[in-house]
Amino acid sequence: MFKASENLSDRITVNYEEKPCYDIVFSKDFSQITNELKKLNIENRKLCIVTESNVGPLYAEELSEIIKPFCRKVIIHQFEAGEKNKNVNTVNKIYDTLIKNKFDRNDLLLALGGGVTGDITGFAAATYLRGIDFVQIPTTLLAQVDSSIGGKTGVDFEAYKNMVGAFYMPKLVYMNLSTLNSLPKREYLSGMGEVIKHGLIKDKEYFNWLNENKDKIIDRDYTTLKEMLFVSCNIKGRVVENDPKEKGERALLNFGHTVGHAVEKLKDFSLLHGECVAIGMNAACFLSMKKGFISKKEYEKAVETIKMFELPVNTSGIEPREVTEATLNDKKMYSGIIKFILLMDIGNAIISREIAKEDILNSAKRVIVNE
């Protein structure tokens, strides 16, 4: 299935209800963003760049200066960075800025930042005046390959991740790959949790390619990154097209997330999202092996790949039973049954509704290492 280098382009079109909905554009800088925004008829529109305190100082003014000559007005709204601020209070402050600047339904929000920024901005766009347009400009690897695509928006509620939200599609996803160079190594490699997931659930050849190109990926080689992003975004885009509201196949994208979200919450968000997904993938692969779906060799290969990209496969300081109980409060519960994603083979995932509480406990024991 993996044939990126043969048909690599600068954009992918994602469809919604069998019609073109938005483009994912790959660029080495912001030089093409005005051409893309012009397609959205921004001449008479006000634009609000929503960003956070880490990303804003790096790119917000640059982006504003580039697009300012081509639209009615540009303002910047910046909030404090961090998962702890992914809540309705942060969204309320965005509403306040929009109201004070008289934004109406014809105006546009630009989400400049990582997954938290994209989720918050998308949710604000979906709910302000019952919906205004927004654009995703993801600046982290994790956001570029995952959260910016597919229209999932939302905020955390108390300790529960993404518990309040909406499906709301962006008008454009613009990826400036050079922003990845400003990421700390840990945050950059966190995004590989979602990348490895794409290979494990959908494309064995891609999974093998990731192994073969490990050094170039870690070194952030532009050509290799573009190829990797194109394939990962294409995998996610096609899954989202087939199931935009997560009633079937899209649930496969939750591979590693059931245990991963539980760990993320119980560790009080001290681990990055991609790191928690990596731990969750270890648990899911282990359970897939115990169910007789994948071999011990395949399990070990998956874990070896996760470690190769300097991601954790276990953690400490929490109890397996806590993880198990936390999964039972996960939003992926359906009529009291949790949908757990398992591997039948590397590159072939399934949705299982036959996972018992004891199964989750055993998988949690595999990834929790307490002395």
Distance (Å, whole) CA 325 – CA 113 = 32
Sequence letter at residue 342: L
**Is 282 noted as a catalytic residue in this protein?**
no
Q: Which one from 257, 264, 282, 298 is the annotated catalytic residue? A: 257
Q: Which one from 36, 52, 187, 194 is the annotated catalytic residue? A: 194
**Is 3 noted as a catalytic residue in this protein?**
no
Close Cβ partners of 27 (under 8 Å, ≥ 6 residues apart): 10, 33, 174, 175, 176, 177
DSSP string, 21-33: EEEEEEESSSTTH
**Is 198 noted as a catalytic residue in this protein?**
no
**Is 186 noted as a catalytic residue in this protein?**
no
Q: Tokens standing for 18? A: 């069998």
**Is 236 noted as a catalytic residue in this protein?**
yes
Q: Tokens standing for 91? A: 């969204």
Q: How many angstroms separate the Cα of 25 from the Cα of each of 14, 32, 33, 244, 351?
A: 11, 9, 9, 20, 31
**Is 77 noted as a catalytic residue in this protein?**
no
**Is 152 noted as a catalytic residue in this protein?**
yes
Largest CA distance in the chain: 62
Close Cβ partners of 219 (under 8 Å, ≥ 6 residues apart): none
Q: Which one from 152, 198, 202, 265 is the annotated catalytic residue? A: 152
Q: Which one from 246, 264, 275, 298 is the annotated catalytic residue? A: 246
Q: Which one from 86, 236, 265, 366 is the annotated catalytic residue? A: 236
**Is 261 noted as a catalytic residue in this protein?**
yes
* 184: helix, strand or coil: coil
> Which one-letter DSSP state was computed for residue 316?
-
* 200: helix, strand or coil: helix
350: β partners: 342
Distance (Å, whole) CA 367 – CA 277 = 12
Q: Which one from 19, 100, 102, 130 is the annotated catalytic residue? A: 130
**Is 250 noted as a catalytic residue in this protein?**
yes
Closest by CA to 133, choosing from 141, 121, 125, is: 125
Q: Which one from 273, 275, 282, 366 is the annotated catalytic residue? A: 273
- The secondary structure of 101-160, three-state, reads CCCCCCCEEEEEECHHHHHHHHHHHHHHHHCCEEEEEECCHHHHHHHCCCCEEEEEECCE
**Is 273 noted as a catalytic residue in this protein?**
yes
Closest by CA to 84, choosing from 8, 193, 159, 32, is: 159
Please list the active-site residues. 130, 152, 194, 236, 246, 250, 254, 257, 261, 273
